Amino acid sequence: MKEQTTKKAAVCNSGKGKKNSRFLSRSTVDILNSLSWFFMDAFWMLQFPRVCVCCIIPTAITGIALLLTNKGNKAVMLMDISTNCWIWMNFFWILQDMWNLDFMMPYVKLLTLIGIACLIAAVRMSDDLPALFSQFGPFRSSASYYKNVHID
């Protein structure tokens, strides 16, 4: 049991002893974004509109924080913009669906097109697609995290 606890602590320590000058690391922002987005969609599916709409606040803030934690990589920045388009597309679609706000659909479609354009541009710009897609939506991951995960 103690060995598993030690391994788990090592896996969770993404700072690797370096002092981070930012308030939150990109991987922490990513986790918070995924969790808030999950709850936003979960409350949509469960038909709790007010709670669902409240979840857009942390989802949007962490989506913007992903943009701010980018270290100057243009392809990843385009993936982050695409992710933010996806967040807002999802939110407008939720509004349209829950309150029959049909005027939201053009925003959904516009954000979809912008997200697709950013995604295509990022793919064309990148020379390492697996690393690039590890920064996008459901494919996001910390390469160092998965490298350190031990599955018994």
**Least-confidence region, from 22-31, 45-54, 128-137, 140-149:** 140-149
Q: What is the DSSP letter of 13?
A: -
CA 24 to CA 38: how far, in whole Å?
A: 20
**Least-confidence region, from 37-41, 52-56, 116-120, 143-147:** 143-147
Closest CA relative to residue 140, chosen from 149, 132, 148:
132
pTM for this entry: 0.74
pLDDT digits (tens, 9 = 90+) for 75-112: 999 999 999 999 999 999 999 999 999 999 999 999 99
Q: How many residues does the chain have?
A: 152
Closest CA relative to residue 36, chosen from 53, 23, 24, 18:
53
